[in-house]
């Protein structure tokens, strides 16, 4: 019940103010939220397990959703607006109902990573530390540390210093 009330109150708060109050509310929901985490009020979080490291920013209209899998966002991460982190999916079912049994896989974003706007990250993905993911990308496989990746599907463009 408390989680439901928090989900109702959260979007009513000013978008880019009261970050400490928002972090407190997210902690009340049972999430691990580090120090100086800034989550914009329009962010929607629809899952059970979330960990966000210190000094991380999660931008406007971002959706973090799925099932029972953990979404782990490192410290000093910047997630631009309108990103989607989606842990849940389905097996391919019969022709009568193609969305078969549901499943959920975790997502991990390494420290210092920058996720460009309107990027989608699917379950089972690990993005290394110090990466840049170009805007509009679809990340469906792992990205090593210190890489610039972009595209649909995302691929490594180059290594970063």
CA 115 – CA 57 distance, rounded (Å)? 10
Is 60 annotated in the active site? Answer: no
Reduced 3-state DSSP string for 5-66: HHHHHHHHCCCCCCHHHHHHHHHHCCCEECCCCEECCCCEEECCEEEECCCCEECCCCEEEC
Q: Which is the catalytic residue, given 32, 35, 60, 90?
A: 90
Length of the chain: 161
Which positions are annotated as active-site residues? 90
């Amino acid at each position: 019940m408390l989680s439901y009330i928090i989900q109702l109150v959260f979007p009513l708060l000013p978008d880019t103010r009261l970050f400490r109050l928002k972090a407190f509310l997210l902690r009340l929901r049972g999430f691990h939220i580090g120090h100086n985490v800034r989550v914009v009020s329009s962010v929607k979080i629809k899952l059970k397990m979330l960990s966000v490291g210190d000094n991380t920013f999660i931008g406007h209209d971002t959706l973090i959703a799925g099932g029972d899998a953990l979404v782990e966002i490192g410290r000093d991460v910047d997630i631009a607006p309108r990103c989607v982190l989606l842990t849940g999916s389905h097996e391919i079912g019969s022709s009568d109902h193609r969305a078969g049994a549901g499943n959920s896989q975790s997502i991990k974003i390494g420290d210092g990573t920058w996720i460009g706007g309107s990027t989608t990250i699917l379950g089972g993905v690990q993005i290394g530390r110090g990466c840049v993911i170009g805007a509009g990308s679809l990340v469906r496989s792992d990205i090593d540390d210190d890489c610039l990746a972009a595209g649909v599907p995302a691929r490594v463009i180059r290594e970063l210093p």
